[in-house]
Amino acid sequence: MNLNQYLKNKAQRKEALEDELKNHRKRCPSCFRSQKVCFCKEIASFSTQSEFRILMHPKEARKEQLGTGRLTNICLKNSKIIVDENFENNPDVFKLLSNTEEEYAQYFPMILYPGDKSHNITQSDFPEHIKDNLTLKNKKLLIFVIDGTWTCAKTMMRNSRNLHNLPRISFEPGVLSQFKIKQQPAHYCLCTIESIYYLLNELEKWKYETLLGKQNVLLNTLHRLVDFQIECTKNPTFTRYRPGTYKAPDERSYSKKWSKRKVYFELK
């Protein structure tokens, strides 16, 4: 880059910054992104037979503008966000797990979380006692999903002892995460919106969902977010991004600490 081009880019960045400060960015209350780039109204949200509760870490709720938990909630009509660090004494989670009120007795709660005793829905249908609850007793799947960085999620799961005895459900996506703007700690780690997408695929395979492709909204929403962020890193006039900082996933290296210990919490 020659001097004239450098000065031109610098002037463009300064002008954009002044414009941004003059017109304070108004944020969407749903996704927390600037209303200028928000596409929430264009998302074709859909219903599922299963209920989802996204257990969101406060850092995701207050600061993270690229978290996929909020976007997942916008996509899924049958989902709600519950914010906390430790859900052991959380009143909303307590009600859902209590089974003492008719409103909550209809649910069969599980948690989407890996582990040695987690049921791999990719490999086989639910065991008979779960199938009986879902079919004979006509209960509805209630799936808790922990939303936070993998480090935060591990701590949240460890401290929330009321979640320890919930049946765990997991799957085998067979692909690397498409959340390319974030680094995953291990090759099998996915973000929230991807995890629910692949889970829904498996639930539909075993006839617990009838979505007929509606779940594709989840991945399409993720791709739109990722593509926009990558483009931002290539635009020298965007003041909040450092041009040229994006690296493709195959150019990165995974953290060494996760090669020596489990990413997820496991009961001893």
> What is the per-residue pLDDT across 131-164, written as a single tens digit (0 to 9) for each?
999 988 899 999 999 998 888 999 999 999 999 9
CA of 189: how far to CAs of 123, 174, 222, 265, in Å? 18, 11, 15, 14
Token representation of residue 34:
């600037």
Q: How far apart are CA 215 and CA 46, in angstroms?
A: 8
**pLDDT confidence of 83, banded at 50, 70, 90?**
very high
Please tell me which of 36-50, 78-92, 185-199, 247-261 the model is most confident about, judged by mean pLDDT.
78-92
In the structure encoding, which two tokens stand for residue 77, read together?
A: 């009509």
Q: Residues 195-225: pLDDT tens digits?
A: 999 999 999 999 999 999 999 999 999 999 8
Torsion of CA 225, 229, 231, 237, to 10 degrees: 130
Helix runs in the chain, H state only: 3-22, 58-62, 69-75, 91-98, 102-105, 128-135, 150-159, 192-205, 216-234
List, for residues 28-75, the tens digit of each pLDDT value. Answer: 777 777 777 787 888 899 999 999 999 999 988 776 566 799 999 999
Model-level pTM greater than 0.85? Answer: no
Angstrom CA distances, 126 to 105, 109, 210, 224, stand at: 20, 13, 17, 34
Query: Taking all residues of the chain, what is their mean pLDDT, rounded to a whole number?
Result: 85
Q: Is the pLDDT of residue 266 over 80?
A: yes
Interatomic CA distance for residues 16 and 239, integer angstroms: 7
pLDDT at 130 over 50: yes
Percent of the chain with pLDDT over 70: 82
Residue 91 confidence class, pLDDT cut points 50, 70, 90: very high
Residue holding tokens 């049921």?
A: 119
Q: How far apart are the first and last CA of the chain?
A: 57
- Is residue 171 a contact partner of residue 199, using CB atoms and an 8 Å limit? yes
Query: Which of the four pLDDT bands, split at 50, 70 and 90, describes residue 261?
Result: confident
Of 6-10, 57-61, 107-111, 215-219, the range with the lowest mean pLDDT is 6-10
Q: What is the DSSP string of 200-225?
A: HHHHHHTTS---TTTTHHHHHHHHHH
